[in-house]
Amino acid sequence: MLHNPSREILMSPETHEFLAELVRWQSVSHVGISATSFEEVEAALSIPAVTMLQVSSVVASALMRAPLTGLLRERDIGLFVREILRAPEVSQSADRPAKAFSAALAPPLVTSAIVGMSSRAHLDDFLPVVS
């Protein structure tokens, strides 16, 4: 998983070839990109070796409304959604963690939701949701 590479790096032919070689040599079985913007997602999808994308819930929402969803389906690319507590559609209610988790997993293309924890309180909020 390449974490937050720039669009320039993602568009570089050297990057494309290097990642393809890693797959060919069986040094890796999957190549993933953690992207911070829709433009980076587009650039990541230009890399044939990419099999996974990790994006924020905001980027995932934009992606669900874009023609790129067909490409995700065609290539069977796993979509991991992070920052789910920041999703605009998630209210500040007591059941916020459950709503955030459900909203993140609702789109059919989403493979997994990444529950980032920055405090013990976040963990305590999510334990009832996943147990």
How many domains are contained in the chain?
1
Element (H, E) at 53: strand 50-56
DSSP string covering 18-50: HHHHHHHTTS-S-EEEE-SSHHHHHHHTT-TTE
Q: Coil, helix or strand for 74? A: helix
Q: Which domain holds residue 106?
A: 2-130
pLDDT at 112 over 70: yes
For residue range 13-44, list pLDDT tens digits in order: 999 999 999 999 999 999 999 999 999 999 99
Residue 17 tokens read as 């070839």
pTM value is 0.85
Alpha-carbon span 35 to 55, nearest angstrom: 5
Question: What confidence tier does 131 reach under pLDDT thresholds 50, 70, 90?
Answer: low
Question: What confidence tier does 5 reach under pLDDT thresholds 50, 70, 90?
Answer: very high
Q: Are strands 31-34 and 78-82 parallel, antiparallel or unpaired?
A: unpaired
Q: How far apart are the first and last CA of the chain?
A: 28
Q: Coil, helix or strand for 82? A: strand
CATH code, 123: 3.20.20.100
HSE-CB for 35 with a 13 A CA cutoff: 27
Residue 26 tokens read as 């069986």
Residue 26, pLDDT score: 96
pLDDT at 119 over 80: no
Residue 103, pLDDT score: 85
Q: What is the mean pLDDT of residues 65-92?
A: 86
Give the Å distances, CA to CA, from 92 to 53, 84, 100: 28, 13, 10
